[in-house]
Structure 1
């Protein structure tokens, strides 16, 4: 009898590849090819490696079964873990390979399936695995609406480490959600529930299913927008995604990319739905400080790493924490029930640099202090 924790592990190598180049994801026939042509770099391996670093010290207690190459083997072996390759994907790999790997492990009955990807990957896994054994997602995509993901790759790694140490974790059911990426690229969110899977339950490390809907209190949004207008003045400003920022843009009389990032200067829209590289060029070329106006994802608390991958670590560092203008209604903050804001930039050092209390604009001349934390 094997007394090691058996972790089945698979990566969608192209998860989230369209995020930094404003393609809103990796789903769709030619999206990966177009993203690569635009200069996008796959990041799923890096995010998986962050998770593995948190449990690689327990190599004596963990055995990994995985897919060949960049679908899992490379990451597991780099972490020094006992590894068996049980599936060889096509090259390049696809969603079909994720599903075939899931079918392969059904008879092996691992203790847990750890996967790196986005909501599309969660759907692929759910279609095969359902509730047959626990799963846990490492967030690596643009769209992370599903409740089967840890809040960050670090959090996912810590949960696996807890299991390897024999710590008791309850199990619960979590929804698998996804949206239509073609509609998403047109600024329309159509979310749908595709099923549920069993996950280890640790509220410190698991994200909530994203809260839908827009801010309903127009007066609050108008007050927030008026304060932001005073704060940014005629300076360069990067306007993030989300309905609260959209309300600011409407107040300024400017067109807005609801699910993208825009650039404003001297009260005028300079560029829309920009890529990470274009954004970095604007920020570097600006002669003055650049403000970054962002909000949080309702119900989850993420301020970076969910749908705004154009705000790359390089962009955020160039702008500086002191120039981040965070906006949210008090009701949106209260809905977090004390959970911290999450910065999941893909750069763990930057995430720690962003941690701490930050001022949040909640109205006109009205602010709240709220903490950003990483689940360390």
Structure 2
């Protein structure tokens, strides 16, 4: 009997990232993102996962149109359409209805593409009744129900379809208050748990909020060392996160904690930029990018900094990207590599290898970046 794979795509997921909206929860925000020129990314990220499954013995049960059916049929899967969205753009209600229909149809696993809001909707509907796995496609991914990358999601499902022994475990669903998030405040809530295939290589961890004991002093050292080496007449794209914020504080500059600011000669020349703004500002300029990793997860590209597009990163070059992080933050990964999840597997693979991470005052380590 064929493996019965439930598929739900939230086509609005991740819209707000490239246009600096910090999320896409709610139809109004999704419409605003589209007006600002955001390009939907969830479908293409789902394509990466599903391509791994082509030729395997499975049936896809899904929702009509861009919530799954169009892509499944395009890729040649045996497809059964269970229903259709009532709203355009799609809403949380459409996601919940699709999840309920898949539960009633008796799927073996629900594979869904979205962010923490999507995971929250599916958790409210399914709880721990059937296994699920998320394809990361949102701006914010704090929940532990997602694979590390779309490719990793496909590989994990392939293991299940092949009948390999895969553990299953309860994983947390967390979500941020997007209104507070846009105001620079991180307020995450626990919403429940879902059953998730638990294969260490492919599944991401719940975002680690970290502790504060000696971290402030270390951040000050990282910031002081980095500011000393900053060069005149260079554009510095300052990414999101508290480690980068410490550098901005050392410079005495206002900082968009959850956005990308552009600094030149000790001044902010553009704040909270979109992907298109960054491409325009950096044309024909000498540029450096400063980023940190997400604690507990290890992502350096593709989580909370979608404004740093593949086009921009390719133009600037890996050698002009500076990663800053405390050793405590690196140690918390327990040897897991840093992750680049841009949505372009070829680009992501090109980053594999060792990268220099600034960890203190004139102190750095080499750390591995690898495709899961």
TM-score for both structures, normalised by structure 2: 0.97
Deviates more, 1:23-32 or 1:324-333: 23-32
What is the rounded CA distance, in whole Å, between the counterparts of 1:103 and 1:329 in structure 2?
A: 43
* Match of residue 55 from structure 2: 57
The Cα RMSD (Å) is: 1.1
What is the rounded CA distance, in whole Å, between the counterparts of 1:230 and 1:78 in structure 2?
A: 53
Superposition deviation, residue 57 in structure 1: 2.9
The correspondence of residues 17-32 of structure 1 with structure 2, limited to 5 A, is 17-32=15-30
What is the rounded CA distance, in whole Å, between the counterparts of 1:260 and 1:229 in structure 2?
A: 20
Structure 2 gaps of 5+ residues are none
Superposition deviation, residue 213 in structure 1: 4.2
| SS at 1:192 equivalent | strand
* Match of residue 75 from structure 1: 71
Say which of 283, 289, 292 aligns to 2:289: 292
Counterpart contact for 1:66–1:83, Cα < 8 Å: yes
Say which of 330, 334, 338 aligns to 1:333: 330
**Does residue 192 in structure 1 map to residue 189 in structure 2?**
yes
How many residues were matched structurally?
369
* Match of residue 271 from structure 2: 272
What is the rounded CA distance, in whole Å, between the counterparts of 2:99 and 2:87 in structure 1?
A: 18
* Match of residue 39 from structure 1: 37
What is the rounded CA distance, in whole Å, between the counterparts of 2:185 and 2:284 in structure 1?
A: 32
Say which of 96, 99, 112 aligns to 1:115: 112
Superposition deviation, residue 304 in structure 1: 0.8
Say which of 96, 99, 106 aligns to 2:103: 106
| SS at 1:218 equivalent | helix
**Does residue 86 in structure 1 map to residue 54 in structure 2?**
no
The correspondence of residues 168-187 of structure 1 with structure 2, limited to 5 A, is 168-187=165-184
Counterpart contact for 2:96–2:125, Cα < 8 Å: yes
Say which of 145, 148, 152 aligns to 1:151: 148
Counterpart contact for 1:175–1:193, Cα < 8 Å: yes
Superposition deviation, residue 211 in structure 1: 0.6
The correspondence of residues 235-274 of structure 1 with structure 2, limited to 5 A, is 235-274=234-273
| 1:29-54 deviations in Å (ceiling 9; x for gaps) | 51111111111111100000010111
What is the rounded CA distance, in whole Å, between the counterparts of 2:41 and 2:346 in structure 1?
A: 16
What is the rounded CA distance, in whole Å, between the counterparts of 2:359 and 2:11 in structure 1?
A: 39
What is the rounded CA distance, in whole Å, between the counterparts of 1:221 and 1:346 in structure 2?
A: 30
Counterpart contact for 2:26–2:91, Cα < 8 Å: no
| 1:57-84 deviations in Å (ceiling 9; x for gaps) | 31xx111100001000011112211110
* Match of residue 366 from structure 2: 369
What is the rounded CA distance, in whole Å, between the counterparts of 1:128 and 1:163 in structure 2?
A: 23
Counterpart contact for 1:361–1:367, Cα < 8 Å: yes
Say which of 5, 8, 11 aligns to 1:10: 8
What is the rounded CA distance, in whole Å, between the counterparts of 1:169 and 1:90 in structure 2?
A: 36
| 1:109-149 deviations in Å (ceiling 9; x for gaps) | 21100000000000110011001110000000001000000
Superposition deviation, residue 88 in structure 1: 1.2
What is the rounded CA distance, in whole Å, between the counterparts of 1:255 and 1:221 in structure 2?
A: 17
What is the rounded CA distance, in whole Å, between the counterparts of 1:218 and 1:162 in structure 2?
A: 43
Superposition deviation, residue 207 in structure 1: 0.4
Counterpart contact for 2:27–2:91, Cα < 8 Å: no
**Does residue 355 in structure 1 map to residue 325 in structure 2?**
no
Counterpart contact for 1:283–1:318, Cα < 8 Å: no
What is the rounded CA distance, in whole Å, between the counterparts of 1:240 and 1:71 in structure 2?
A: 31
